[in-house]
Amino acid sequence: MIERPVVPTADGSLTLWDERTGQHYHSLHGARQESEHVFIKNGLDPFLGNEDLRILELGFGTGLNALLTFNWARKHQMPVRYLSCDLYPLDRRDFIDSADPSEKAVWHQLLDGPWGEEIRIDKYFFLKKERCDIRSLVGHHEAFDTVFHDAFSPDSEPELWTLDVFRNMFAALKENGSWVSYSAKGQVRRDLQTAGFIVERLEGPPGKREMLRGWKK
């Protein structure tokens, strides 16, 4: 069994240590702050004003990105359909550390929901979790507004950061769609550009100087 000890981070939120990859699920500088900066501020906020939003996530992990997206969708009253792919789903709940009982209840719904079928959390948020390798995900050509690339690092899971993966993600995005990740690695940026993305270097979350966002224009 893979060991995943619970670890506190600098903003008071929790993360997990993953023995398989030898990495934490989130930044020790602040798990929640990292997700809010990378995936909410730089991933979702550019789409404010849309009628709805479709998201593809690589790496469901602890469900934190899905939770924060749920909060965002409800706040802005924007319907969101969220598809997340993860080959190694978690089977524990003791890292859920929200002080808000209603948020904690939603987090449990996200984690406990069945895999392989879409579930309705509320009128603004629909979640489907697939236990699959994103490289084998087909039938989603030009289906998504944004991709959350939240796999473990390129050094740990290089097979999820290849040019072919980025080309598949580019094809899965609608025109004017975006790809966003915490990574700022030079090879990732170059491969994104080769795949067709217009790439931006953005200010990173706490503890990181930069992050990347790519656009399909």
DSSP string for residues in 120-180: EEETTEEEEEE-S-GGG--S-TT-EEEEEE-PSPTTT-GGGSSHHHHHHHHHHEEEEEEEE
Kindly tell me if the per-residue pLDDT of 94 is higher than 80: no
The answer, yes or no, to whether residue 3 has pLDDT greater than 70, is no
Report pLDDT digits (tens) over 132-175: 888 777 778 889 999 999 999 999 999 999 999 999 999 999 99
In a domain, 153, yes or no: yes
> Within 10 Å of residue 190's Cβ, how many Cβ atoms?
12
Q: Which residues contact 180 (CB under 8 A, 6 or more apart)?
A: 38, 39, 42, 43, 146, 147, 148, 149, 211, 212, 213, 214
127 is a domain residue: yes
- pLDDT value of residue 141: 87
Per the CB < 8 A criterion, the answer to whether 175 and 142 are in contact is yes
Mean pLDDT for all residues in the chain? 93
Does residue 52 form part of some domain? yes
- What pLDDT digit, counting tens, does each position of 11-41 carry? 999 898 888 899 999 999 999 999 999 999 9
Contact indicator for 215, 176 with CB cutoff of 8 Å: yes
Q: How many domains does the chain have?
A: 1
Is residue 25 a part of any domain in this protein?
no
Q: What is the CATH classification number for the domain harbouring 67?
A: 3.40.50.150
In a domain, 3, yes or no: no
Report whether 150 contacts 164 (CB < 8 A).
Answer: no
The pLDDT value given to residue 99: 80
101/98 Cα distance (integer angstroms): 7
Residue 2 lies in a domain: no
Q: Provide the β-strand partners of residue 17.
A: 24
More confident residue, 98 or 216: 216
11-20, 87-96, 190-199, range with the lowest pLDDT: 87-96
Domain annotation covers residue 13: no
Strands (DSSP E) contained in the chain are 6-8, 14-18, 23-24, 53-58, 80-85, 119-122, 125-130, 144-149, 173-181, 198-203, 210-215
Distances from the Cα of 173 to the Cα of 28, 41, 42, 106, 124, angstroms:
31, 19, 16, 28, 21
On whether residue 5 sits in a domain, the answer given is no
pLDDT confidence of residue 137:
74
Range of the domain at 180: 31-215
- Rg for the chain, CA atoms, rounded: 16
Predicted pLDDT at 2: 63
